[in-house]
A and B are shown apart, each in its own frame.
Chain A
Amino acid sequence: MKIGVFICHCGENISSTVDCPRVAKICESYPGVEYSVDYKYMCSDPGQNLIREAIQLYKLDAIVIGSCSPHMHERTFRNAAFSAGINPFMVEIANLREHCSWVHDDIESSTLKAIELVRMAIEKVKRDKPLSKINVPVTKRVLVIGGGIAGIQAALDVANAGYEVVLVEKEPSIGGHMSQLSETFPTLDCSQCILTPRMVEVHQHPKIKLLTYSEVVKVEGFIGNFKVTIKKKARHINEDLCSGCGMCISKCPIKKKAYNSFEEDLAFRSAVYIPFSQAIPNIPVIDETVCTYFQTGKCGMCLKVCDRGAINFDQKDTVMVADIGAIIVATGYKLYDIERKSADLKYKGYGEYGYGKYRDVIDGLQFERIASASGPTSGEMKRPSDGKEPKKIVFIQCVGSRDDSKGISYCSKICCMYTAKQAMLYRHKVHDGEAYVFYMDIRAGGKMYEEFVRRAIEEDKVKYIRGRVSRIYEENGKYIVKGEDTIAGMPVEIDADMVVLATAMIPQDNAPALARTIGIPYDKYGFFNESHPKLKPVESTTAGVFLAGACQSPKDIPESVAMASAAACKTIILLSSDTLEREPVVAKVNEDLCAGCFYCQKVCPFGAVEVKDVKDINGIVYKEVAFINQGVCQGCGTCTATCLSKSIELSGFNNEEIFAEIAAL
C-alpha cells in the first residue's frame, strides 16, 4: 500500500509550534509511506491540487493529512481524494491544530506529539477499507406530533409543499396552549382570532390527516422509513356521524363532576364535552371516568338525544400503523406545578405560596382564562374564590424558573413578557385596581418587547418591585404577600386580593417517555436535545426527526412558529429526493462467528439489530444471528464493544484500525 502524507502549516497556526517540515520528513521514513510533504495551506485550491497530483503521480492508495480538526475539513479532503480517484474513506486526518499546535507552547514536545498523531493516522489508514455510501428509499409522508401552534404551522408548511402529513394530537382538539391565551404580547391581538383560521385550514387540508385524541406508542425504522404505531383513544362518538350540534352536551346530566382542563380547572364541564367552542374537530368526547353510563351502566341520555346515532359506548381504542419518512416533534410545554406532588418530587413546589391551597393564588394560564372573553368569567376580572373583582393584584415572576432550590435553573423566557401583558390587561379592565409585579430582572429581548414593558410601567402604572416574595398567607380574605424590595432595601407586605404566579415552562410530563419511544435524547429537565446548539437547532440527533416549538426549550409564539417552519423546511428537503445517501459508518455482523446472544440488540439505541435465521443446506434453521439494518444503524459502535465474540465491526472505526492506532502510540 502506498500512502501519502500531507502536513499543513495552516498559515502559521500549526507551524508556529509544530516543526512541519520535520514531521513530514520523519513520516517519510515510515514503512508504507510513499510520499510526504508539508505545505502552507493544504485546504486551499493549490493545496488540494498538490494532493491530487501526488495521488496520481505516486499512485497512492491512501492519504493522511496533518491539519485542522476533521470536523473542519474532513469532507474537503475526502472530496479531493475522490476527485483524484481514490476512495474518500481512505483518508485520515491527524488533528495537528486544535489538538496540538493551539494547545501546546513548547515546539519540541508539540512536534513530537504531532509526529505521533500522524503516525497513528498512518497506521489507521493502512487498515482502512474502501467504503461506499449507503442508499435508502424515502417514504414521502411526515408525522407531526403535537397540534399546538408549532405543530399546526409545521403541518401546514409541509402539506403546502405537496407532501402528506399525519398530525397527531393527544387532546380532543388541536390548538394547544395558544388557544387558551387571551391576548398576545406585544401587540395585544386576540390569540384565538389569529389561531382558529389556521386550525380550520389544517382540518380542511386535503394532504393532512388529523388524528386527535391519539398518541404515538411506538416508532420503529429509520430515516425515510419509519413505521409509527398510533393509538387512537376511544371518544365513544362516531366521528363520521357526529355533526357537532352539541345536543348531547347540553342534555348531559353530569355537569359538575369534572373540571374543565381547557379552562385550567376554573370551570366544570359535562361528562360528554368539547374542550372549547372553537375546537377542531368539533366532535365531543365522553369522559368514562365521570360518565354515569360507564360508572353505573344507566343513563344513556346522550344516546337518546343524538339524532344522528353517533354515540357509541362500545367504541374501543384503535391502533394504526403508518409509514412515515420524517417526524416533526412539537409536543410543547406545561407549566410548573406549584402544588405539592408527593408522587413526583422532581420539582419541589411552593409551600411558601401555599401549595395551591389558596384559590386566588393562580398561575399564568389561569389568569389567561380569566382575562379571556371566552373564558369562565367572560373576560371579567373576577377572582376564583368568591367572584369579587380584585382591587389589588400581585404578579410574581420567576416562580420555579431560575430557582435552583426548586429544581430548575433555566429562565423560562416568556414570563417577563406575559406578566407585563397580564398586568396591563388587568389595569385595562380594573381601572381603579393596583397591580404589583415582583421581578428578578426584566428580560425583554425582542422586537417591540422592551417598549411593551415600559408601556406597562409608564402608561398603565403597573408597580414593578425588584425582589422575591418569601411567603403568601391568607388573612381576612386578603392574601398577605411578604417580600423584599431589593432596590429600596426594605421588606414589603402587600395585602392583595389575588396573586398570579408566572410559573416556569417545563416539558410535558410524558416528554421523556416519548423521547425514548422515538429514540431522541433529552436534557435533564426533559426538553428534547437539538443536534447542534448553533448549526443544527431544529434537527434532533436521530436522523429524520426534527424539533419544533417549546418541546426543545421555552419559546414564545413567533419563535415556535419560526422553528416549526424551519423544521418543515428541513423535512421538505429530506423528502424532495427519492433516496437518501448515508455515511457508510455502520456496524456489520460476521454471521459465521455470531453466537446469537443478541446483547447487541439490547444495547442498540436505534433498534437496528434484527434476528436473522441461518439455514443449513437442507433449509433447516440451525442458528439465529444478529443482522444490522444498515439504514437504521447510526454507527455508534456500542454493539461492537458489547459483542463478546467480537463478531461486529464498525466500518470506518473497526477494531483493527483502533488497535493499529494504539500500537502506533
Chain B
Amino acid sequence: MDEKIILKDDLLRICGDVIDKGHILLCPVMNEYSIVKDFSRIKLDASALPAGTSFKCYVFPKTEPVLYYKRSKSDVQLIDVNIDRKNIVILGAKPCDANSLNIMKHLFNWDYSDEFFNLREKNFIIIGLMCSHYDEYCFCTSVDSSPVSEKGSDIFLIPVDENKFAMRIITEKGSEFISPYAEYLKTGDENISKQITENVKLPKVAFDSNEVYEWLGENFESPKWEGIGNLCLSCAKCAFVCPVCHCFDIVDEDYSYTEGRRMKNWDGCQFGNFTMHASGHNPRDIQSKRYRQRVNHKFRYYVDKFGEILCTGCGRCSRGCPVSIDIKEIVSNCKD
C-alpha cells in the first residue's frame, strides 16, 4: 500500500486547485455535505458525527429529468437529456458514506445499466476520512465495516496530528487524481497510521449479520412486525436520509398541453402508495409489512442478490426517526 503524509495546508491547497479547475468540491460543513467554494470552511474533523444526509443526492438526485417529450397530432417526439459530466471531489467522506456508492452500484448495473447513475459515479473522487467518534446509533462494525474502513474511498485520510494526515491512495482513480500534486506528498510510515487506526474506539458489534439473515428467512410472519408497524408512522425519512436506499419513481410532468418531461424521483418503501397497484390492490397494505420489507431488503434480499448488506451502519435512520425506532435495536433483538 502506498502511504503518504500530507500537511493540512497542502491539502487545502489541493482543494483550491480543484475548485480552480472547475470541479465541484463537496465537504461536510455544518452537518451536511455542501458545495464548498471557500475552503476555509473545511474542517476535516474525524470526531464529527455523520452528516445529516449523505452525498447520495449528488449521484442519485432527489429529482432529475430522464427525457422530454412533445406530443403532436400524429406522434410523440422524445428528446434526450444531456447528462452532466462534471467532476465531483468529496473531501472528508465518512467511511460509512464512502462505501455507499459501491453498494448502490450493484442495483444500478444489474439488469440495466443506468447511465444517469454511472456517468455521475464515474466522475466522483471520494477522499475518505477516518472516523474517531460514534454515538448510540452507530453500528458500522455490525455490517462488515468499521470507522477505519477504506472501502469505497479512492483516497483515505488518517489524521496524524492537528496539521498532518496520513494519506493512503486506494484506487487508480485516486492515484490519477493525486499525481499532479506529488510535490505536496511526503513519504509516510505505515506503522504510525496503523497504530492510530488500531487505537480507534470501535462501536460494539450489535448483531451478527449472518444470524440476522437466517432469522429473517425464518420469521417472515413473526408477530414482532406488527408491534413495530403500529409505532411507525409511514414517513420515508429513514429511506430518504439513508446513504444506500435507492428506490425511485418515474412520473411524467406536463409543461403544457403538448409538452412535458419524464422525471425520476426518490421514493420510499414506507409510503403506503409505494406498492399500490393500478388495480387498487396493495400487497404491502399495512405498515408492518412495509417495515418488514425494509429490514428484509437491507439484510436479506440484497445479500441474496448482490452479496452485500444494503446498509453502511451510519445510523441516520434511527437518529432521525420521529418516533425513535432504532433499526439496530430491532435487528439485534430479533431473536428474543
Contact = CB atoms under 8 A, between A and B. Distances in A.
A/B touching: CB–CB < 8 A:
yes
Contacts of B258: 31
B256 interface: yes
13 contacts: A29-B73, A30-B73, A31-B71, A31-B72, A31-B73, A31-B258, A32-B73, A33-B73, A119-B257, A123-B257, A592-B280, A664-B256, A664-B257
Contacts of A641: none
B188 to A, nearest CB: 62
B71 to A, nearest CB: 5
Contacts of A123: 257
B329 interface: no
A629 to B, nearest CB: 26
Q: Is the interface of A mostly helix, strand, loop or mixed?
A: loop
A32 B258 CA distance: 11
Nearest to B71: A31
A367 B300 CA distance: 98
Interface in B233-291: 254, 256-258, 280
A663 B254 contact: yes
Nearest to A30: B73
A660 interface: yes
Contacts of A30: 73
A355 to B, nearest CB: 66
Contact of B257 (A29, A33, A592, A660): A660
B281 to A, nearest CB: 12
Nearest to A29: B73
A663 B256 contact: yes
A57 B188 CA distance: 87
A29 B71 CA distance: 11
A534 to B, nearest CB: 39
A663 B255 CA distance: 8
Contacts of A592: 280
Interface in A10-52: 29-33
B279 to A, nearest CB: 12
B73 A663 contact: no
Contacts of A33: 73
Given A660-B257, A664-B257, 10 more contacts: A31-B72, A31-B73, A32-B73, A33-B73, A119-B257, A123-B257, A663-B254, A663-B256, A663-B257, A664-B256
Chain B, interface size category, equals: under 10
Nearest to A661: B257
- Candidate in B256, B257, B280 with the most chain A CB atoms within 10 angstroms: B257
Nearest to B76: A31
A41 B257 CA distance: 30
Nearest to A32: B73
Range of interface residues on chain A?
A: 10 to 19
Interface in A650-665: 660, 663-664
Interface string B51-90: 0000000000000000000011100000000000000000
B252 to A, nearest CB: 13
A377 to B, nearest CB: 80
Nearest to B255: A663
Interface in B203-222: none
A359 to B, nearest CB: 75
A589 B216 CA distance: 42
A515 to B, nearest CB: 44
A389 B280 CA distance: 88
Contacts of B257: 119, 123, 660, 663-664
A123 B280 CA distance: 27
Nearest to B260: A663
Contacts of A31: 71-73, 258
Contacts of B73: 29-33
Contacts of A119: 257
A119 B256 CA distance: 12
Interface string B120-162: 0000000000000000000000000000000000000000000
Contacts of A660: 257
B258 to A, nearest CB: 7
A637 to B, nearest CB: 23
A119 B254 CA distance: 16
A663 B254 CA distance: 8
Nearest to A663: B257
Contacts of B256: 663-664
A33 B256 CA distance: 17
Nearest to B280: A592
Contacts of B280: 592
A598 to B, nearest CB: 22
A660 B254 CA distance: 10
A119 B73 CA distance: 14
A592 B256 CA distance: 31
Contacts of A32: 73
A30 B74 CA distance: 10
Nearest to A120: B257
Interface string A584-598: 000000001000000
Nearest first, the 5 A-B pairs at minimum CB distance are A664-B257, A663-B257, A31-B73, A31-B71, A123-B257
A32 B71 CA distance: 11
Nearest to B74: A31
Nearest to B72: A31
Nearest to A664: B257
B310 to A, nearest CB: 33
Contacts of B71: 31
Nearest to A122: B257
A351 B254 CA distance: 67
A123 B256 CA distance: 11
A475 to B, nearest CB: 81
A88 to B, nearest CB: 25
B117 to A, nearest CB: 32
Contacts of A663: 254, 256-257
A665 to B, nearest CB: 8
Interface string A99-140: 000000000000000000001000100000000000000000
A92 to B, nearest CB: 15
A314 to B, nearest CB: 59
Contacts of A29: 73
A469 B100 CA distance: 93
A107 B258 CA distance: 26
B136 to A, nearest CB: 37
B109 to A, nearest CB: 38
A119 B257 CA distance: 9
Contacts of B72: 31
A198 to B, nearest CB: 64
B77 to A, nearest CB: 12
A33 B71 CA distance: 13
A239 to B, nearest CB: 61
A590 to B, nearest CB: 11
A608 B73 CA distance: 43
A376 to B, nearest CB: 77
A592 B280 CA distance: 10
A611 B12 CA distance: 68
A70 to B, nearest CB: 21
A660 B257 CA distance: 8
Nearest to B256: A663
A664 B257 CA distance: 5
A123 B71 CA distance: 14
Interface string A74-109: 000000000000000000000000000000000000
Contacts of A664: 256-257
A32 B73 CA distance: 7
Interface string B291-313: 00000000000000000000000
Nearest to A119: B257
A31 B256 CA distance: 13
A123 B257 CA distance: 8
Q: Which of A30, A33, A123 has the most CB of B within 10 A?
A: A30
| Residue with the greatest number of chain B CB neighbours at <10 A, chosen from A29, A32, A663 | A663
A593 to B, nearest CB: 11
Nearest to A592: B280
Interface string A232-276: 000000000000000000000000000000000000000000000
Nearest to A34: B73
A457 to B, nearest CB: 71
